[in-house]
Amino acid sequence: MVLSFDMLQTLPKILDKVAPAFLMSSCSFMLEKSRDSTARVVVWREIGVLRSYTMESTYSGCSHGLYKVIEAEQRTSKTWELTPEGQEIIHEGSHEVRVFNSIPPEGLLQSELMKMPSGKVGFSKAMSNKWIRLDKSSESGPRIFQAMESVQDTVREKLLQVQKGETNCLEEKDKNELKKRKLLAEVTIKTYWVKKGRAFSTTIAKQETDLTPEMIASGSWRDLKFKSYNFEALGIMPESGHLHPLLKVRTQFRQIFLEMGFTEMPTNNYIESSFWNFDALFQPQQHPARDQHDTFFMKDPSEAIDFPMDYLKRVKRVHSQGGYGSQGYKYEWKLEEARKNLLRTHTTAVSARMLYQLAQQEKFTPTKYFSIDRVFRNETLDATHLAEFHQIEGVVADYGLTLGDLMGVLKEFFTKLGITQLRFKPAYNPYTEPSMEVFSYHQGLKKWVEVGNSGVFRPEMLLPMGLPDGVSVIAWGLSLERPTMIKYGINNIRELVGHKVNLQMVYDSPLCRLDT
């Protein structure tokens, strides 16, 4: 397309707003799309290619208002071009011809032929063309001989036609065969023909984006041009609060528990006495977990005062003397140790309080409890461990519950999380017997990974509370941080919790939807 002198003077300035650095004379625009899915626009002069640049900005500009200044008509055509392998065949010959020419009169061992760069492909094609024959009676192994005196390299000849631009001379079946062998590729070319738009002008006036009080007062708005609204623009995200990824995943877990008929336990007391955190769970006072290396003990207030004394005496007796069918631990239980305040090491302390309250009711009612809240342990900090983390816990109390009931509830719970492949491994917990670790098969890691812990609360824990004989309590727990890190692809827990958290990560994190 030939442009007028005025267009030649003005069009570069107009297009420069969208696609910089245009210098044009007689020109057309072509979008070339190559095999690797990249695209570029080439601007031609009569003397050759001037420059190339990406097309998206210009054409999208034409579709969002620039069409009033210039109009672009798209024309599509298809052509064929050689692949790198096709170029190689033009210079060195086809694979089958190279195999044929490499066979001496005395023949060549098949094993030696297969070591050649084009051996496998060339052997297959040459056998199909009946250019060579295979003799399997040779003592040294299968040997290949020429079956013809000479051959014609028709593949190379066809590729030469494509190189010369004579693709139309080839039959469609030949094109498809070369394409199937990845020697030829079909390329789509989009050409854009540009002409004046309805609002074309030889001068460019700046369009105003805002109507100001000054323009209204002076009346200057009458002589100004205002930029049209682009209603397809994304706009600026409004400033608002954003939920942390942990809270999003917590909401999903909470919803699952509520769907299963569980009641949420109050977990607002981070400070707990050693009695409820350890002793009530039938955990001996000399247990390593009560050592300062694993527990944060409080300095002020250092001790708790108020306890249900009848219950405390029963706990003391089962620890020191046994009872309820148990021999106990046979040690001197000390009230001073039980009164020590600490940051709770698990939310099972809350479960113990709730089960004790349940036991004080006149008539026992089967119950399902859950909690999701913070716990604290004096651990070494690293990429996967912090001194505080969240524990998810589920508790079911009813008559006659067994290990099979626990497995069934666990299967239902983890299925709602999208985890269907489960394994159970025997484990030890001071306050559950039997106890099980829960493993799931991780498709990404291709191995079984631990996803939780579970068990049946011991009679030494339940009967001192006053729960009726025959009542069993099954429970399980897991952390909140691990599934959150997996869900959002976070490798370091310090990027998820603490003062080093990137707020942009919080803003950009998508909604959590566990795959069920």
β-strand partners of 370? 264, 394
Mean of the per-residue pLDDT values for the chain?
79
Q: What is the pLDDT of residue 59?
A: 45
- 399-440 residue pLDDT tens: 989 999 999 998 888 888 777 888 899 998 888 989 999 888
Strand blocks (E) in 19-97: 29-33, 39-45, 48-53, 70-82
Please report, to the nearest 10 degrees, the dihedral formed by the alpha carbons of residues 72, 76, 80, 82 taken in order: 30
Name the nearest CA neighbour of 143 among 170, 106, 178, 168. Answer: 106
Torsions phi, psi for 410 (to 5 deg) = -60, -40
SS (H, E, C) 254-284: HHHHHHCCCEECCCCCCEEEHHHHCHHHCCC
Q: What is the pLDDT of residue 248?
A: 82
Q: What is the pLDDT of residue 410?
A: 87
pLDDT band at 381 (very low <50, low <70, confident <90, very high): low
> Is the CB of residue 333 less than 8 Å from the CB of residue 319?
yes
The pLDDT > 90 percentage for the chain reads 15
Q: What is the pLDDT of residue 479?
A: 82
Q: Which domains does the chain have, with CATH numbers?
A: 6-77+188-196 (no CATH), 84-187 (1.10.10.2330), 245-508 (3.30.930.10)
> Within 13 Å of residue 195, how many CA atoms lie on the same side as its CB?
6
Sequence-separated contacts (24+) of 319-324 with Cβ below 8 Å: 319/279, 319/282, 319/284, 319/285, 323/460, 323/463, 323/464, 324/459, 324/460, 324/463, 324/464
pLDDT band at 118 (very low <50, low <70, confident <90, very high): confident
119 pLDDT exceeds 60? Answer: yes
How far apart CA 378 and CA 276 sit, in angstroms, is 19
Q: What is the pLDDT of residue 105?
A: 87
pTM over the 0.85 mark? no
Mean pLDDT across the stretch 154-182? 87
Q: What is the pLDDT of residue 258?
A: 92
Report CA Rg, the chain: 39
Q: What is the pLDDT of residue 510?
A: 60
pLDDT band at 213 (very low <50, low <70, confident <90, very high): very high
Amino acid at 106: E
> Is the CB of residue 132 less than 8 Å from the CB of residue 150?
no
Q: What is the pLDDT of residue 63?
A: 45
How far apart CA 133 and CA 100 sit, in angstroms, is 10
pLDDT band at 382 (very low <50, low <70, confident <90, very high): low
pLDDT band at 164 (very low <50, low <70, confident <90, very high): confident
Please state, as a whole number, how many other Cβ atoms lie within 10 Å of the Cβ of residue 145.
Answer: 15
Q: What is the pLDDT of residue 40?
A: 40
Which parts of 137-273 fold into alpha helices (H)? 154-163, 172-180, 213-218, 245-259
Instruction: Give the lowest-confidence range in 326-335, 339-348, 358-367, 379-388.
Output: 379-388
Specify the residue for token string 């392998």: 85
| Percentages of the chain per state (helix, strand, coil), in multiples of 5 | 35, 25, 40
pLDDT band at 350 (very low <50, low <70, confident <90, very high): very high
